[in-house]
Amino acid sequence: MVSFAAVLIMLGFSNAARVNNKDMKLAHEGSNLEDKFECKPGQGGAFASYNETAKNSFESCAALCDVDDECKGFDFTERNSSHPEIFSLKPTLMKKDSCRLFKDNAVRWEDSAAKKEALELAGVSSGVGSGRQYCSKLAIPTLAEKFNCEPGQGQEFGSYAETANNTFESCAELCDDDSRCVAFDFTTANTSHPELFSLHPTLHKEDSCRLFPVEKHTPRLSDTSARSYCVKFLKASSQ
């Protein structure tokens, strides 16, 4: 019989796991948002915003713009900013606007912090900035734009995962979501191979889609393999 103390310990581990999973999810979402926007010092066009909120962080403002098809960009400040809004259904002297969403508009770009410092050292006034960042929504590339495909197959015995996915889209999605994957090959046929030395031995391990890591992705390009070999376009690392 499980003791009351043991139950408490198990509940504690369960709650900790939920918290950790939540933190990991938020970190993953934050990373995705950074890939979807390009931010520079500046602010949107005067009186051009169509939605303003009190959200005063990149993550919270970007999340609003990300799910709004009308939103082409946003500006935000970490300050608690507001303005009077008299001609409104709900007039107020303190309309919160730390986060502002914009459709297409004339962005008012500003000097970067480094440029302002250089101008000040040179004795030139750079003017007073808004203290805001304007973030433009980037076009999300399609799967076809993320991979370069040619007739052929991956390195012999080089794949680390094989599945029954036998379309470009389904195999590409697996590779796109996997940071280890730098390339894949696939065939529209339902193919398999024997896999005896495994935790789950089988004579028919499905392998229409095969994923390859960076250390084992030397292709065997050929029109005779009935497969297509697709390499992921990797983002250049920042210096």
Taking Cα atoms as reference points, which of 109, 38, 52 lies closest to residue 80?
Answer: 52
Give residue 168's domain range: 143-232
Same domain, 121 and 201: no
At 19-37, the pLDDT tens digits run 344 333 333 344 589 989 9
Q: How far apart are CA 105 and CA 72, in angstroms?
A: 9
Residue at a domain's end among 110, 137, 164: 137
Tell me: do 148 and 212 sit in the same domain: yes
Which pLDDT does position 76 carry in this prediction? 98
More confident: 8 or 39: 39
Q: Do 124 and 148 lie in a common domain? A: no
- pLDDT band of 8, cuts 50, 70, 90: very low
Task: Give the other-Cβ count within 10 Å of 190's Cβ.
Answer: 11
Backbone angles phi, psi at 45, to 5 degrees: -60, 150
**Distances 141 to 93, 150, 178 between C-alpha atoms, Å:** 42, 19, 16
Compute the average pLDDT of residues 60-83. Answer: 97
Q: In this structure, are 73 and 90 located in the same domain?
A: yes
pLDDT at 185 over 90: yes
CATH number at residue 112: 3.50.4
Statement: residue 128 has pLDDT above 90 = no
In this structure, are residues 205 and 173 in contact, taking their beta carbons and an 8 Å threshold?
Answer: no
**pLDDT at residue 14 greater than cutoff 50:** no
Same domain, yes or no, for 82 and 132?
Answer: yes
pLDDT of residue 167: 98
Closest CA to 219 of 230, 209, 207: 230
Of the chain, the percentage scoring pLDDT greater than 90 comes to: 68
d(CA 209, CA 88): 57
- Mean pLDDT over 65-94 rounds to 94
Measured CA distances, 178 to 42, 64, 234 (Å) = 35, 26, 12
Q: Are residues 126 and 43 in the same domain?
A: yes
Whether residue 159 sits in one domain with residue 89: no
Give me the mean pLDDT over the 3-25 stretch: 38
Q: By three-state DSSP, how is residue 83 classified?
A: strand
Compute CA distances 179 → 83, 176, 183, 200, whole Å.
44, 7, 11, 25
**Domain-embedded: residue 239:** no
Residue 238, in any domain of the structure: no
Domain count, the chain: 2
Using only the alpha carbons of the chain, give its radius of gyration: 26
72 and 161 together in one domain: no
143-158 confidence digits (pLDDT tens): 999 999 999 999 999 9
Pairwise CA distance, residues 113 & 144, whole Å: 38
Residues 82 and 149 occupy one common structural domain: no
Please name every residue paired with 102 in a beta bridge, in sequence order, or none if there are none: 49, 73
Q: Residue 73: its pLDDT value, please?
A: 98
Q: What is the DSSP secondary structure assignment for residue 214, as one 8-state letter? A: G
Residues 43 and 126 both lie in one domain: yes
Domain boundary among 86, 121, 137: 137
Question: Coil, strand, or helix at residue 137?
Answer: strand
Q: Domain boundary at 137, 165, 184, which?
A: 137
